[in-house]
Structure 1
Amino acid sequence: MRVIVAEDSVIMREGLCRLLEDAGITVAGRAGDAPTLLAQVERGEPDVVLTDIRMPPTHTDEGLRAAREIRDRHPGVGVLILSQYLETTTALRALSRHPRGLGYLLKERIADVGQLIEAIGRVAAGGSVIDPQVVATLLGRRRTAGALDELTARERTVLGLMAEGRSNDAIAQRLGVGGKTVETYVRNIFMKLCLEQNLVDHRRVLAVLAYLGQ
């Protein structure tokens, strides 16, 4: 797998590259700003781009805008957006346009190499990835309004895993239950939250996040 890393902090960028290389992933390019990132993607289309949200010159949303352009021009390239801070609005906005092959993780997840590599693999395969803390925050926000009160504790757990972008099989493995059991949980969740059933994973994520982000 070929990955381009875009991060303006040299220490963070080189650290990420070292982690990826140690995991057997080819680092196809390094960028410290959005224009360099876009040029590198044009020169040699990678499998995945890892990009910080905030990059020079304004350190606002250059990375996010670059991610959108990459997804527009190179739909086969997965993009994993990294953020120093929890920004639920940014996460929802990022996924609303190109849910397939797009992910949003907090930088603190980098310490868990296995989780980082798993997220890269999922966006490379066209899946969606949402940081668990974003999901937990959205779930908590909706619960204060009483919207999720009808869900059982296990259904809320399944909902959180769904919103992270995990398939029914992945949820079953995480919870140690059978696939049919997860299907039942999912049907109950859709019914209780009045969400239309949809077998396409990334659309399911969008539906759940749209509900949670209201």
Structure 2
Amino acid sequence: MRAPISTAIAIATGLLILLGAFLPIPVLLPIRQILLSWTIPVAATAGLIAILNLLSVHWRKLNSARERDYYSIFLLLAFAATFAAGLILGPTDPDFQKIVTHIQFPVEASLMGVLTVTLTYASIRLFQRKRGWLAVLFTASTILFLILLSGFLNISENIPFVKDFLAALNTLPIAGARGILLGIALGSITTGLRILIGADRPYSG
């Protein structure tokens, strides 16, 4: 077994935290609190290392003699401006939060746009390979919902059934978000159990 000491520490730490969470043993409660309090500086250190690695990678891309990537300068300048504003104004300052929001929202919108285009292209390729009544039904329902939700037609205001149907349709993203959160939770539990039994050892690489 590679890295047996790290594996033993990870398994023992996981067992102590789990036992302290499920069993009301007075001895385990302070140990569990100490271990959980250590996770904050460790996670902060890991995040700092990740940020420094990201900056070093883009700095090397910018200074590369063969394949120089000039887009890296935008990331470096944005990081420097955000970091300087955070040091000068403070993380709780409303102006600093406004700056971060104005940077974060366009990035999230761009990622959602890329995701939408990617899923649309993947759906088109899938329907080209497997043509059938499901592809026709999906295409017709997509066009219909886009027309109804775009606001060009005021059918939803005149027909109660359509209005209730569209209201129910608008709740589907909430169900999808909950499904994604459940998937993340199950994946985290599975990964934790695999680390707990020693099947996965990401700390030994």
Larger radius of gyration: 2
TM-score by length of 1: 0.28
Larger RCO (CA under 8 A, 6+ residues apart): 2
- Structure richer in helix, relative to its length: 2
